[in-house]
Protein backbone atom coordinates (compact mmCIF):
# COMPACT_ATOMS: atom_id res chain seq x y z
CA UNK A 1 0.00 0.00 0.00
CA UNK A 2 1.32 3.43 -0.94
CA UNK A 3 1.41 6.23 1.58
CA UNK A 4 2.51 9.75 0.72
CA UNK A 5 4.08 11.87 3.45
CA UNK A 6 4.40 15.64 3.21
CA UNK A 7 7.47 17.35 4.67
CA UNK A 8 9.07 20.76 4.39
CA UNK A 9 10.99 19.55 1.33
CA UNK A 10 8.02 18.12 -0.53
CA UNK A 11 6.41 14.71 -0.71
CA UNK A 12 7.97 11.36 0.11
CA UNK A 13 6.68 7.88 -0.58
CA UNK A 14 6.38 5.41 2.29
CA UNK A 15 6.37 1.80 1.10
CA UNK A 16 6.91 -1.28 3.29
CA UNK A 17 8.52 0.79 6.02
CA UNK A 18 11.00 2.54 3.70
CA UNK A 19 10.89 6.12 2.49
CA UNK A 20 11.59 7.25 -1.05
CA UNK A 21 12.17 10.70 -2.54
CA UNK A 22 10.86 11.63 -5.96
CA UNK A 23 13.70 11.45 -8.45
CA UNK A 24 11.91 11.97 -11.76
CA UNK A 25 8.36 12.52 -12.95
CA UNK A 26 7.32 11.56 -16.49
CA UNK A 27 3.67 12.59 -17.04
CA UNK A 28 1.82 9.92 -14.99
CA UNK A 29 4.86 7.76 -14.14
CA UNK A 30 7.08 8.69 -11.18
CA UNK A 31 10.47 7.21 -10.31
CA UNK A 32 11.33 7.23 -6.61
CA UNK A 33 14.81 6.78 -5.06
CA UNK A 34 15.58 5.52 -1.56
CA UNK A 35 15.82 8.42 0.87
CA UNK A 36 19.08 6.96 2.26
CA UNK A 37 20.84 7.08 -1.12
CA UNK A 38 23.23 9.92 -0.26
CA UNK A 39 23.94 8.76 3.28
CA UNK A 40 24.19 4.96 2.93
CA UNK A 41 24.28 4.45 -0.87
CA UNK A 42 20.94 2.63 -0.78
CA UNK A 43 20.13 1.61 -4.36
CA UNK A 44 16.43 0.81 -3.92
CA UNK A 45 14.02 2.41 -6.38
CA UNK A 46 10.32 2.29 -6.98
CA UNK A 47 8.34 3.14 -10.11
CA UNK A 48 4.71 4.21 -9.78
CA UNK A 49 2.03 4.79 -12.38
CA UNK A 50 -1.18 6.54 -11.37
CA UNK A 51 -0.43 5.87 -7.67
CA UNK A 52 0.16 2.14 -8.19
CA UNK A 53 3.53 0.42 -7.87
CA UNK A 54 4.59 -1.05 -11.20
CA UNK A 55 8.22 -1.88 -10.41
CA UNK A 56 10.43 -2.28 -7.33
CA UNK A 57 14.21 -2.44 -7.59
CA UNK A 58 16.57 -3.32 -4.75
**What integer pLDDT is reported at residue 12 of this predicted model?**
93
CA dihedral 13, 47, 57, 15 (to 10 degrees): 20
Mean pLDDT of 31-45: 94
Parallel, antiparallel or unpaired: strands 29-34 and 18-26: antiparallel
Q: What is the pLDDT of residues 2-35, one digit of tens each?
A: 888 888 888 899 998 899 999 999 999 999 999 9
* pLDDT of 58: 85
46 touches 15 (CB < 8 A): yes
With H, G, I as helix, E, B as strand and everything else as coil, classify residue 25: strand
Q: How far is CA 1 from the centre of its chain?
A: 13
Q: Which residue has the higher pLDDT, 10 or 41?
A: 41
Q: What is the pTM of this model?
A: 0.84
What is the fold, at CATH topology level, of the domain defined by 3-57? N-terminal domain of TfIIb (2.20.25)
Amino acid sequence: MLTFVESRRGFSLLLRGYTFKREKALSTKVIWRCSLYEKLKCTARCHTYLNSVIKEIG
